[in-house]
Structures are given as structure tokens and as C-alpha cells.
Amino acid sequence: MAVRKSRNGTWIADVSSGTNPITLIQRRIVRKGFKTKKEALEAERYLRSVELKEKSFSTKITIDILYQLLKEEDEINNRKKSYIDTQENNYNKHIKDYFSKVDNIAKLTYEDIYQFREHLREKNAKNSEKKLNPNTINKIMVLLKKILDVGLRKGYYKEHPVGLLKKLPIEKRKMQFWTVKEFKHFLSLFKNDEYNLELLFTVLFFTGLRLGEALALTWKDIEFSTSTIHVSKSMYVNKGEEHISSTKTKSGTRRIIINKKLIEALEEWKKKQTERLRQFSTDTEKLQIFQDSPITLTKNSIEKQYKKILARDSSLKKIRIHDFRHSHASLLINQGEDYLIVKERLGHASITTTIDTYSHLYPSKQKDLADKLDNLL
């Protein structure tokens, strides 16, 4: 019914504007309080000729069609396989099912997108009782925007509302890292048959490598004559399986020169590993550097081992494996190294990332400057 009389005697203009693309419940545009039927009819004509016309779209396009187009674009543009796989996981896990009933993405409103984000805020993280954190939600919203931007580029619609939502605020986590003293304490917790793991964590602490980068290393990546590690690839997980891909960024492909004691430890371990695994491999040069059995080391297996080792002493401050990178950066800064050295060793894409992450660890130069100015008088 387009026009009807209300119980209090005034008139109502009530026009259908289709269905909610998420719930499939009918949407309506309602205007109330008209004194006469004529006014309500004029309002109805306005709603149909102006507001509904602005909201009408001829092309029907689904979220899955747009995602497949995005994936094709990424493959044509030679985006890393790990990047595409991660994107697909997030799409399948968080976006696909929610928008599966939407037969025309062009119908989505700001309210629909807002409600999707609220849905994410109530969603638990995988294998956890904790909710998705704001940073994860922001990344999912960025992916949704990328998907809908494809429709804009293809001319399927003129606008979409995702960009209107501001990012959720992210509480900056206090940086955790170990001092050399704490790291030595950690090394004392290893058992004799865990030397390969002890060596792995020593390399992480003294190089700043990501865990995936360290697990992707083979002996071909070590140049013993120059004490150099060549970093060009990384291990990542997709659908529970380990894969090797290029480094996270172009800057991630780098050379790291290591100290004499560490290169000697690696050289000694290589001899032991060769003896131990020669019967299982025809080319030990292709073995993972930290492998001590025919079974490939995975990120998940290392995480489990790490937790077991940490549990041996409750007095030791608990940090994540990724925090070994922060520990290395702190070590460099305490040795007086500048931002560029930290950037190069960590493989940051931009010096801005290095400064934003570690500027608070650098001692202030203000006091030194004040003292120098005093000496001028």
C-alpha cells in the first residue's frame, strides 16, 4: 500500500525499496504526518521518482564474482602466491558466507557494511575464545573494499559505502623483547638433544629473521667464507599446509652478515646434521638448516616446542617468537647502530616502518644538545 491513513488521522506515504540483501527482509521508505491524502500522494511520487531512482541499479553482481575478478587481477599483476592465498583464506573465512545471499552488491548500504563490521566484532578468532582483534577486523574491511573497488573499476556501479567507515582504533601493544641476559637465561633451558632448536633461536636473536624466513633457509643460503646469510624466501601456512614463497617484501630479500661465533656454530652443526641425515637425503645442501630428522620443521611445530621450553621456567618473561625481531633491533640500538642498519637487517620496506616501530628505543639527543650549547657560552 503506497498511501494509507494512520490511526491518528494523518496520512502516510509507504513505498517498497526492495529487500535487505543480507537478511532478504523487505525494505520500505516511509514518510509520515501528511495532513491530506493529496500531500501523501505527492510525497509518494517524489519517493518513486527521486529516491528510488537514485537507489536503482540495472546490473546484478555477486560478491563471489567480484572476488574472482580481484583474484584474476592479482595473478595478472604477479602478486605473491602467499599474498593471494592469505587473501583467499580471509575471504572464505569472513566475507563469502556473510554476503552469499546478496544477488546485487550494488544494493549494499552504509548500514549493511556497518552491520557486517559489528558481526566481525562479535566473532571469535580461530581456535580461541577471544574476539577478533581490531587490527584483524580492519584488514578484513580493507579486503572487502578491494573486492568492491573491482566493481567500480568495471563500471558495475558508481559508488559503494565501505570507504565511509573509519578504521577501528588499535591499542598500541607495549613492545616486548629480551635483553642479552634474558636470552642467555632462555638458552639455559634447552636439553642436550634440542641443539638444533637452540641454534634456531640464537640465529633469530642475532639476525632479526622472521621465523618463516629462518625455516626456509637451506645450506645453499649460507656463505661461510663471508659469514653471510642470503635471505630470499619464507615459509608460510595455507590451509594447514606449509609452502615456500618469496620474502614478504622486496626489501625482505637481503644479505645479513653474522658474527664469527655464530657462523662457526652453523658450520659445526652442518657436519653433525650431514652425518645424522645422510641416509635420508641424497643432497644435504637442500635440507632445512635447523632440521634434525627426516621430518620437515614447520612453524606450528616450532611454536609448540617454544611454548614447552618457556614453560620450564615461569620466572622468565614471556615473549612471542616474533618478538625476537624486536630483541635484535633493541640489541642493535643499544650497540649504537642507526635506523638504516636496523632497516637493512630486518628487511623493512620503508625506513618509516623502522622509525615508527623503534624510535622510542633510541636515547634522546636533547640532553647532549643542551650540554653542547652550554659549552658555547
Selecting among 248, 254, 343, 345, the annotated active-site residue is: 248
Please state, in angstroms and as integers, the Cα–Cα distance from residue 13 to each residue in 51, 56, 294, following that order. Answer: 13, 19, 75
Active-site annotation holds for 119: no
Active-site annotation holds for 255: no
Residue with cell 490511526: 7
The three-point CA angle 174-353-303 to 5° equals 55
Residue type, 338: D
The DSSP bridge partners found for residue 34 are 11
Selecting among 94, 160, 233, 325, the annotated active-site residue is: 325
Residue with cell 642507526: 338
Task: Give the long-range contacts of residues 46-55, CB within 8 A, separation 24 or more.
Answer: 47/13, 47/15, 48/15, 51/17, 52/15, 52/17, 55/17, 55/18, 55/107
| N- to C-terminal Cα separation, the chain | 89
Q: How far is CA 348 from the centre of its chain?
A: 15
Q: In angstroms, rounded to a whole number, what is the distance separating the alpha carbons of residues 216 and 247?
A: 10
Selecting among 94, 107, 160, 210, the annotated active-site residue is: 210
Selecting among 60, 255, 278, 322, the annotated active-site residue is: 322
Q: Of 187, 258, 240, 243, whose CA–CA distance to 212 is shortest? A: 243
229-256: b (≥16 Cβ within 10 Å) or e:
bebebbbbbeeeebeebbbbeebbbbeb
Selecting among 233, 326, 345, 348, the annotated active-site residue is: 348
SS3 call for 311:
coil
Selecting among 91, 156, 157, 358, the annotated active-site residue is: 358
Q: In angstroms, rounded to a whole number, what is the distance separating the alpha carbons of residues 41 and 48?
A: 11
Active-site annotation holds for 322: yes
Active-site annotation holds for 358: yes
**In degrees to the nearest 10, what's the CA dihedral of 218, 224, 228, 232?**
-20
Give the number of other CB atoms < 10 A from CB of residue 63.
24
Instruction: Return the active site residues.
Output: 210, 248, 322, 325, 348, 358
